Amino acid sequence: SWAKLKNTFMEPEIVLSGSIVYSQKSYVSYINKVNGEVVNNLSSKKILETLMLHPFVQAGRVSHRYPNKIIIELKEREAFAIINKDPLVILDRDCFVLPIEDNFNNYDIPILSKFNSDNNLYPIGEKSLSVKVQETILWLSSLYDQDPDFYSSISEVLLENGNEIVLILNEYPTKVLLGDTDTLQKI
């Protein structure tokens, strides 16, 4: 009767943790909207399944803590590259297309130019369907693993003559012609 009086089990507190950049309230409203029910009425499994559908969520874990908490731990996808087209497309390191937010100017990541601009190749929340973009993101990811400082110095990646990679660096807008073979070793 005390639990009923205090609504202990009816209105739990929702706590989001992890490296969350996206609005915490929007995650809760997203769960409510997708399920058509209040988060409080859902099982941990259903909450997690719904969160995994969100384009920004890479991994997550949900647990209930007695007496009245739902703990949601999230790992969000991080912007890794921007495709220069209208509208802009932001990709993570696994080539997933992230929704555009108003603060996309805050990203200091390489811009990919002269890639296919067909909107059908960039479904939000899914992997890019462009093979060239996937190859370039994989290439940039390998470069990031080998030399994160050099990755940070890249302003733009151009695709010229079909397959040739051209880098434009931040300092003194230096243009680096890499061609289309053994590009990582050339760097």
69-97 confidence digits (pLDDT tens): 888 898 888 889 999 888 888 999 999 99
> Hey, what are 159's tokens?
């695709």
- In this prediction the pTM is 0.75
Give the residue from 81, 182, 86 showing the smallest Cα distance to 133. 81
Which residue in the block uniquely carries the two structure tokens 């601009």? 117
> Could you read off the pLDDT of 7-58 as tens digits, one per residue?
655 667 788 887 676 777 778 788 878 877 777 667 788 888 888 888 888 8
Strand order of the sheet with strand 175-179? 97-98, 89-92, 79-83, 111-113, 154-160, 164-169, 175-179
pLDDT grade for 102, boundaries at 50, 70 and 90 = low
Would you state the pLDDT for residue 144?
92
Instruction: Say whether pLDDT at 103 is over 60.
Output: no
Smallest CA-to-CA distance from 97 within 56, 51, 152 is with: 56
Closest Cα to residue 117, out of 133, 102, 139?
Answer: 133
